[in-house]
Amino acid sequence: MPGLIVAVCGAIVLLEVLPRQNLSRELLEAGHFAIADTTQVDVARGSGNPTVAGVHASFQTADGGWLQTPLVDYEDDAQGMAQGLQTPPPGTRYAVPLQIIYRPAAPQQAVALVDARQWAADQRTPLIGIGMVAGGLTIALIAAAGLIRDLYRRGLARWRWYVEGPYLTSADR
């Protein structure tokens, strides 16, 4: 069971990281750049220091329109955690002027350029996820093989039927 839990956790890591990396690479290759003139962060207060639960940016798109949208990484994460909107202090990660990269066809899918570069360059996290899946499944298969071997050795009739197959009589053939 612990092996399966590790494998599932690894799969969750991969499901979280790989789409983020693909979006970042796509935006870095074919996205449009903009500078956000205003940014606000949703601050989540947990045990300890406040953390960023959401980032909202307002920027001018290539067609001249203004758009205010949550950044892609934070649009789902902020639910239930946000304590209030604040303007980020100067010099912090999401302070203005914030460089934004977005899809021309869907400008609501915007990412901070610093985040896109960081996600696209991250090679360690997917390897950890793959290792967790592979290691967890290996442990689970070894444990299952050991259990089946032990059950077979005990001679339990139902396991013997699964391993050896049903007994056929001459009338069944």
Omega before 166 cis (within 30°)? no
Strands (E), the chain: 32-44, 51-60, 66-70, 85-86, 98-102, 110-112
Q: Alpha-carbon distance 153 to 138, whole Å? A: 22
What is the DSSP code (8-state) at residue 95? P
Among the ranges given (59-73, 98-112, 121-135, 158-172), the one the predictor scored with the smallest mean pLDDT: 158-172
Among the ranges given (15-19, 95-99, 104-108, 115-119), the one the predictor scored with the smallest mean pLDDT: 104-108
| Residue 77: alpha-carbon gap to chain centroid | 11
User: CA distances (Å), 15 to each of 11, 22, 139, in order?
Assistant: 6, 11, 21
Higher pLDDT, 29 or 77: 29
Task: Look at residue 169 and tell me whether its pLDDT is greater than 70.
Answer: no
Where do the domains of the chain lie? 1-24+123-164, 31-113
pLDDT band at 136 (very low <50, low <70, confident <90, very high): very high
Q: What percent of the chain shows pLDDT beyond 90?
A: 23
- What digits encode the pLDDT tens for the residues 2-38? 888 999 999 999 998 998 899 899 989 988 898 888 8
What is the DSSP code (8-state) at residue 59? E
The strand pairing partners of 56, in sequence order, are: 40, 70
The confidence score (pLDDT) of residue 131 equals 94
pLDDT band at 39 (very low <50, low <70, confident <90, very high): confident
pLDDT band at 130 (very low <50, low <70, confident <90, very high): very high
The confidence score (pLDDT) of residue 108 equals 81
Please answer whether residues 39 and 94 qualify as being in contact, where contact means their C-beta atoms are separated by less than 8 angstroms: yes
